[in-house]
Amino acid sequence: MAAAVMAAAVGCSADSSDADAGTGDVTLVVGDQVKSTQTLLESAGESKDLPYKVRWASFEAGPPLLEAAAAGKVDVGSTGDVPALFAQSAGSPLKIITVLAGEAANDFLLVPKDSPITSVEQLKGKKVAFTKGSSSHGLVLALLDRAGLKPSDITETFLTPNEGLAAFDSGQVDAWAVWNPYATIGTRQSKARVLADGKGLTTQQGYYLASDAALADPAKKKALRDFVGRVTRAQRWAVAHKDRWVPIFSKLTTLPEPVAAATFDTSAREVVTIDEARIAKQQKLIDLFSGAGVIPNKPTAADYFDARFNDVIEGTRS
């Protein structure tokens, strides 16, 4: 089914309406978190000579960004895999148009340095902190599943990263699942020990999603093709120029450079084409959340991927 969906999406990418549509009067509303996409494009030299206008909409996190996109207030923006999962569960009118893929784990399960806990199995009956609906929520579910435990076997403690750090430092929780930079802060500042990470368990994917309304508009669709090319090249530039990007990232996030560098090492992603393997990773995540009763249904991941921009991504490599 995934192959059929992808073929249909790619097949409609070169219709005559796209070819005839201009972009000069188009304004693409791009959802951004901490100005990360905007700064990346500017740093990589990809914000010059845009054949359309861009209006940046700032959000603190992925879920409100996707809510705005579903409401027609944002045309395109990037989030992690779990916010996308909740949008899919809600049937939001959005499609994943690119995959941001990395090799390193970026979510970690931490325990105090002197904790007697040495395995996930020993978390039974313990208090585990994480942010509900986050990638670290996915890590906890995956680790419990692998260990043969259920979410009800632990005391789930839903906290923001800053709240989690405070609770961890004060001994109010037995373990804390979180992503970088917070995990690096935990290991450096609180001398936490990494009990497990998401390597091979989480999708290690992020996404750019576009609204169905933007994809249905020929002029905006043409602008999106250009935008995808720029983002693809910019992400590749950041990976290839860590020495130049990390100081910018440090200033942008107000993180000390060593923490910014460690965060970049685990969170660096490149834009890749959508294929069945990428879709399968998201489906596995959906199945995990559905099986744990966190979401009330089990969406078909392939229904929310649109591969019509695959050719743009491939074209940046020539």
SS3 (DSSP) at 205: strand
The domain total for the chain is: 2
pLDDT value, residue 1:
38
Rounded mean pLDDT of the chain?
A: 89
184 and 256 fall within a common domain: no
97 and 233 fall within a common domain: yes
pLDDT band at residue 230 using 50, 70 and 90 as cut-offs: very high
- CATH number, domain containing residue 273: 3.40.190.10
> Between the CA of residue 182 and those of 23, 35, 190, what are the distances in Å?
40, 19, 11
75 and 130 fall within a common domain: no
pLDDT value, residue 17:
42
Pinpoint the alpha helices (H) of the chain.
2-11, 16-20, 36-43, 62-70, 81-89, 135-146, 161-169, 182-189, 212-216, 218-240, 242-253, 257-267, 276-291, 310-315
What DSSP element (H or E) covers 111? strand 107-111
Domain end, chosen from 142, 166, 197, is at 197
Tens-place pLDDT, residues 108-133? 999 999 999 999 999 999 999 999 88
pLDDT at 86 over 50: yes
67 and 214 fall within a common domain: yes
pLDDT band at residue 16 using 50, 70 and 90 as cut-offs: very low
What percent of the chain shows pLDDT beyond 90?
Answer: 72
Higher pLDDT pick, 219 / 201: 219
Short-list 84, 103, 104, CA closest to 95:
84
86 and 208 fall within a common domain: yes
154 and 172 fall within a common domain: yes
Higher pLDDT pick, 84 / 7: 84
pLDDT band at residue 21 using 50, 70 and 90 as cut-offs: low
pLDDT band at residue 71 using 50, 70 and 90 as cut-offs: very high
Domain end, chosen from 197, 222, 238, is at 197
* Residue 48 DSSP symbol: S
192 and 91 fall within a common domain: no
Strand ranges across the sheet with 27-33: 53-59, 27-33, 76-80, 205-211, 94-101, 270-272
Alpha-carbon distance 308 to 225, whole Å? 9
Contact in structure between 175 and 143 (CB atoms under 8 Å): no
pTM value is: 0.85
What percent of the chain shows pLDDT beyond 70?
Answer: 92
| Of 156-160, 174-178, 197-201, minimum mean pLDDT range | 197-201
Tens-place pLDDT, residues 90-111? 999 999 999 999 888 889 999 9
Structural domain containing residue 296: 2-102+204-315
Q: Which residues contact 116 (CB under 8 A, 6 or more apart)?
A: 122
Q: Which two tokens stand for residue 128?
A: 């585990």
pLDDT value, residue 286:
97
Domain end, chosen from 197, 225, 247, is at 197
